């Protein structure tokens, strides 16, 4: 008997005992007509052409347009490989293709062995009869995606809408006719590069009797509190004859193990294990970021056949439960339903963003880049990302890192903003896709919900593309694809997490209305997507109050540092032709300026390049302030309803996290990883405890919002700390309006026991814009007994008069409890900055830069002789992030840190640092 501690060694020893694997990754020849260049697999024809010097940077200027011919041509991948007699002696030899992009024919030694129609399917082809001992050749002949969709479109009995993207996208038509990354044909935030290539691993696998193809797992709680583990093992055998062997499952580092003799009776067969884990195994739960540890376990599966040969597979799993709670919020059912997630029995407010592909050329997306983006999300207290349905089912490393960091994932299936075909070949391909992807992703504890598509229910009902002309036809297609096909497969394959037909949707209300709701954007049900341009983005009264908002956003520009590698000098102007071309959102540049002038005065530097840099800075201010306004609005409404039944908001996922290229978009992280101002603001508005002031007419209303109620407040050595309830406390807090406590509507589902309480003191200070000395301060004792609560309300003009402030436009507020530096704090203006009076240009200086005890982390002092709004620090040419940025400096000095993501010394960092604030953009 092998002990548990030897499992990793056993796994290594077992590799290859029952199989012989020949990797075909690496160098291939990529060719089209008279072009033939070396190419690397995984890869695409674009990166092959870049590496050979045939083309330049595809992201430079309008190269997406200049290089359009590349995507319109057919490309072939060819190479040779060696096969030994020992390999051919195996009964079965297959070619395993983890990802072809997209329409392809595969030949081995000039014999056709298979075809591909779907980028999101793993293909396995029997190639034994095509192989010879010695040198062999393989060719993957791709068909242009743009050419393929034209053929499909011409053969369809009616148009699949929309037939093309808007002209401002500068893209290709027909993305919805091919099972490929939808945004590779362009989007309003990304370019058109319809790639071809072998985008994931490809290898030859020879085996004796059977191999493990997939392993999935589900975890659930038994009535006695112990865990149940269900493991499904999907096997591939050599033939239709029965295959005998033994399967063994081991959970490391516990002593849990289970084994059984199996008879596999068909070529693709499966075996299930149902394991009740004893209390003695002491399983630690997996928790979202901010709620506890991300405990993960290695699950090993070993298969030993009747010949004594073995193969194996390992996955990493976490133990957690997921519930999507959709209870009626009133007894008479007239006010809609809740919509929130419970993880391990605890209600969790989803704080986060949306994820799109990190690059148009997926082979360039490294583990380091994915980790940087996801760690940047976790560092600003995000606990959720929505994997948007117009990209890809992400690479394994993405899900693995999300598991490790506690980033919950709302996973769309890859259908977005369009109608789709439902002819038999398309449906058959989708069935393969959904089955394969669910089995590939199922074991990841980070994935908490599956959604059939992005916005397609809403698009259908609101007639975005002309579906109203034949609504019955397009509705039938919708139901056939997402309900009859996608949902039916998900229900058969994965019951461990909820399924939503679309995002946004009305959840179970959508289902009750036959899966296409009359108003699938109702704030009383499910989730909404909310975009409001040209409205006062800093005013929450213009916003709706949903159960959850899974998309909302504004645009901003990335830094000039980020744009310069892809711009010419003549392009560096806000109103240049390239700048207009680069913004795919119709009238996006005009919108940003129209929004900006509602809040700040526009920069007026006579130097064209500096003025462009200043305008970039202004767009980032609006972006950050707008998303702060929206996000805090949603958090404030998490446990109360208005008179119309709106509220109980339990999620805020802004659009979007990181850019696919260098352009104006909704992202908070630039292409390459640099944080925009919004991302720094997210660290504050997504913090576990925030002070959130807002105006209700002429009244200042101050809320405190907490992810969970703390036990007490402590101060030691001038350090402020909230001691929170232990994460394993079995009594979750209530998300419902405290006023209903003790006499809740019968439809409310509550945890046992009343909410905890927290006593504290809120300090409010009023400053004028021309002095570091507060005009007046107020101390406000409060008791928190729910997670979002108004603790102070007063007429703002009375407060202004009491502080002897001249008028609202000359003053602002600072709010905190405990220490202003270490404890929760915020600032709030009483007017827009375009109307603020008393602001003067500040002299900001950086000094005393020194390395800290943390590797690649530096501290420095920032001083100012005036109050400085939106202080913006940059480290030009050095990748990393600051401890804070974009802040209001209302004290003459402060200490900050810079965490470099690369090796750098003090001298280089000193030369790289720059700083400015709002008044520096006016001359």
Active site residues: 455, 551
Query: How far is residue 250's CA from residue 259's CA, in Å, rounded to a whole number?
Result: 9
Q: At what angle do helices 677-685 and 608-636 cross, to 10 degrees?
A: 20
Q: How far lies 450's CA from each of 323, 447, 651, in Å?
A: 12, 8, 16
**In 3-state terms, what secondary structure has residue 403?**
helix
Query: How far is residue 648's CA from residue 337's CA, in Å, rounded to a whole number?
Result: 9
CA triple 903-906-910, angle to 5 deg:
115
Query: How far is residue 677's CA from residue 621's CA, in Å, rounded to a whole number?
Result: 7
CA triple 597-684-293, angle to 5 deg:
150
Q: Under 8 Å CB-to-CB from 338, ≥6 apart: which residues? A: 325, 326, 327, 329, 547, 648, 650, 735
Q: Which residue, among 18, 48, 20, has the nearest Cα to 36 in the 3D structure?
A: 48
Q: Which residue, among 434, 461, 586, has the nearest Cα to 521 in the 3D structure?
A: 461
Burial label for 570, CB within 10 Å (0-12, 13-18, 19+), is exposed
Task: Give the number of other CB atoms < 10 A from CB of residue 310.
Answer: 20
416 bridge partner residues: 454
**Alpha carbon of residue 125 to chain centroid:** 34
Given CA atoms 368, 370, 371, 373 in this order, what sign does their dihedral have?
positive
Query: How far is residue 247's CA from residue 860's CA, in Å, rounded to a whole number?
Result: 59
Query: Cα dihedral angle (66, 68, 74, 80), rounded to 10 degrees?
Result: 50
Burial label for 886, CB within 10 Å (0-12, 13-18, 19+), is buried
The runs of H, that is alpha helices, within 448-603 are 456-461, 471-478, 488-493, 508-512, 560-563, 577-582, 588-596
HSE, side-chain direction, 13 A CA sphere, residue 785: 9
Query: How far is residue 442's CA from residue 496's CA, in Å, rounded to a whole number?
Result: 8
Query: How far is residue 881's CA from residue 873's CA, in Å, rounded to a whole number?
Result: 10
The runs of H, that is alpha helices, within 414-513 are 424-441, 456-461, 471-478, 488-493, 508-512
Q: Are 337 and 508 in contact (CB under 8 A)?
A: yes
Which structure tokens are listed for 323? Answer: 């519930």
Query: How far is residue 196's CA from residue 119's CA, in Å, rounded to a whole number?
Result: 10
Q: Which residue, among 801, 709, 713, has the nearest Cα to 757 in the 3D structure?
A: 709
Task: Write out 696-728 in H/E/C secondary structure.
Answer: ECCEEEEEEEECCCEEEEEEECCEEEEEECCCC
Q: Which residue has the tokens 């319809």?
A: 194
Given CA atoms 680, 685, 688, 692 in this order, what sign does their dihedral have?
positive
Query: How far is residue 901's CA from residue 898's CA, in Å, rounded to a whole number?
Result: 10
Query: How far is residue 459's CA from residue 345's CA, in Å, rounded to a whole number?
Result: 34
Q: Are 882 and 897 in contact (CB under 8 A)?
A: yes
């Amino acid at each position: 008997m092998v002990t548990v501690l030897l499992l990793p060694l056993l796994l290594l020893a077992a590799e290859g005992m029952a199989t012989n694997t020949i990797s075909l990754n690496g160098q291939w020849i990529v060719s089209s007509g008279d072009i033939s260049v070396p190419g690397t697999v995984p890869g695409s024809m674009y990166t092959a052409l870049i590496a050979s010097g045939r083309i330049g940077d595809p992201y430079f200027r309008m190269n997406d347009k200049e290089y359009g011919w590349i995507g319109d041509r057919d490309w072939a991948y060819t190479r040779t490989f060696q096969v030994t007699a020992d390999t051919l002696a195996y009964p079965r030899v297959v070619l395993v293709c983890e990802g072809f992009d997209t329409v392809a024919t595969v030949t081995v030694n000039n014999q056709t062995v298979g075809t591909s129609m779907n980028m999101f399917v793993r293909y396995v082809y029997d190639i034994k009869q095509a192989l010879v001992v010695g040198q062999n050749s393989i060719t993957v002949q791709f068909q242009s995606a743009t050419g393929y969709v034209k053929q499909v479109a011409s053969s369809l009995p009616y148009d699949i809408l929309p037939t093309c993207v808007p002209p401002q996208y500068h893209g290709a038509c027909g993305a919805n006719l091919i099972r490929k990354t939808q945004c590779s044909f362009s989007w309003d935030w990304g370019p058109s590069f319809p790639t071809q290539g072998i985008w994931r691993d490809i290898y030859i696998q020879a085996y004796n009797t059977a191999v493990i193809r997939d392993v999935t797992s589900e975890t659930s709680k038994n009535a006695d509190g112990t865990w149940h583990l269900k493991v499904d093992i999907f096997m591939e055998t050599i033939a239709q004859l029965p295959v005998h062997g033994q399967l063994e499952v081991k959970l490391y580092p516990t002593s849990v193990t289970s084994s059984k003799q199996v008879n596999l009776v068909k070529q693709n067969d499966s075996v299930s294990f149902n394991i009740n884990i004893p209390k003695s195994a002491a399983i630690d739960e997996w928790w979202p970021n901010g709620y506890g540890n991300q405990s993960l376990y290695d699950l090993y599966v070993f298969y030993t056949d009747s010949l004594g040969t073995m193969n194996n597979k390992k996955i990493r799993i976490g133990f957690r439960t997921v519930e999507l709670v959709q209870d009626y919020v009133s007894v008479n059912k007239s006010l809609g339903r809740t919509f929130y997630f419970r993880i391990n029995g605890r209600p969790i407010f989803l704080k986060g963003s949306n994820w799109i592909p990190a690059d148009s050329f997926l082979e360039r997306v490294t583990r380091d880049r994915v980790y940087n983006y996801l760690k940047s999300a976790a560092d600003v207290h995000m606990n959720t990302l929505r994997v948007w349905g117009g990209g890809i089912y992400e690479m394994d490393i993405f899900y693995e890192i999300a598991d490790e960091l506690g980033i919950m994932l709302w996973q769309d299936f890859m259908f977005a903003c369009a109608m789709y075909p439902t002819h038999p070949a398309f449906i058959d391909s989708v069935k393969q896709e959904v089955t394969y992807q669910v089995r590939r992703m199922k074991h990841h504890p980070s994935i908490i919900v599956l959604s059939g598509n992005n916005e397609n229910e809403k698009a259908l009902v609101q007639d975005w593309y002309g579906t109203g002309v034949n609504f019955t036809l397009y509705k039938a297609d919708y139901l056939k694809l997402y309900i009859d096909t996608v949902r039916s497969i998900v229900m058969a394959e994965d019951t461990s997490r909820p399924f939503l037909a679309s995002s946004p949707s009305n959840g179970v209300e959508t289902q009750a209305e036959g899966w296409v709701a009359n108003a699938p954007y109702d704030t009383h049900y499910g989730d909404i997507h909310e975009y409001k341009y040209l409205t006062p983005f800093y005013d929450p009264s213009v916003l709706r109050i949903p159960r959850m908002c899974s998309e909302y956003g504004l645009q901003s520009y990335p830094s000039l540092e980020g744009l310069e590698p892809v711009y010419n000098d003549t392009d560096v102007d806000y109103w240049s032709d390239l700048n207009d071309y680069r913004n795919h959102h119709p009238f996006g540049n005009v919108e940003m300026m129209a929004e900006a002038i509602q809040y700040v005065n526009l920069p007026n530097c006579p130097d064209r390049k500096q003025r462009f840099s200043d305008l970039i800075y202004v767009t980032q201010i609006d972006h950050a302030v707008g998303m702060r306004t929206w996000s805090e609005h949603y958090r404030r409404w998490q446990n109360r309803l208005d008179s119309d039944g709106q509220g109980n908001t339990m999620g805020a996922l802004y659009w979007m996290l990181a850019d696919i290229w260098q352009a104006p978009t909704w992202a908070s992280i630039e292409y390459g990883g640099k944080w925009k101002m919004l991302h720094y603001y997210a660290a504050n508005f997504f913090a576990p405890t925030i002070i959130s002031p807002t105006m209700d007419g002429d009244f200042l209303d101050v809320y405190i919002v907490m992810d969970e109620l703390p036990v007490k407040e402590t101060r030691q050595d001038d350090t402020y700390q909230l001691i929170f309830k232990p994460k394993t406390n079995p009594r979750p807090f209530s998300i419902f309006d405290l006023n209903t406590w003790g006499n809740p509507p019968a439809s409310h589902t509550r945890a046992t026991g009343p909410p905890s309480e927290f006593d504290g003191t809120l300090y409010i200070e009023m400053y004028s814009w021309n002095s570091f000395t507060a005009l007046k301060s107020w101390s406000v004792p409060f008791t928190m007994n729910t997670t979002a609560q108004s603790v102070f309300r007063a007429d703002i003009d009375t407060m202004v008069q009491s502080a002897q402030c001249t008028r609202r436009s000359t003053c602002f507020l600072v709010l905190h409890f405990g220490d202003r530096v270490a404890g929760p704090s915020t600032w709030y203006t009483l007017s827009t900055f375009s109307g603020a009076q008393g602001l003067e240009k500040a002299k900001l200086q950086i000094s005393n830069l020194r390395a800290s005890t943390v590797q690649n982390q530096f501290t420095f002092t920032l001083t100012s002789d005036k109050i400085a709004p939106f202080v913006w620090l940059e480290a030009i040419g050095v990748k990393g992030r600051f401890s804070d940025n974009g802040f209001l400096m209302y004290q003459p000095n402060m200490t900050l840190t810079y965490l470099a993501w690369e090796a750098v010394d003090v001298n280089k960092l000193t030369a790289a640092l720059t700083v400015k604030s709002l008044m520096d953009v006016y001359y």
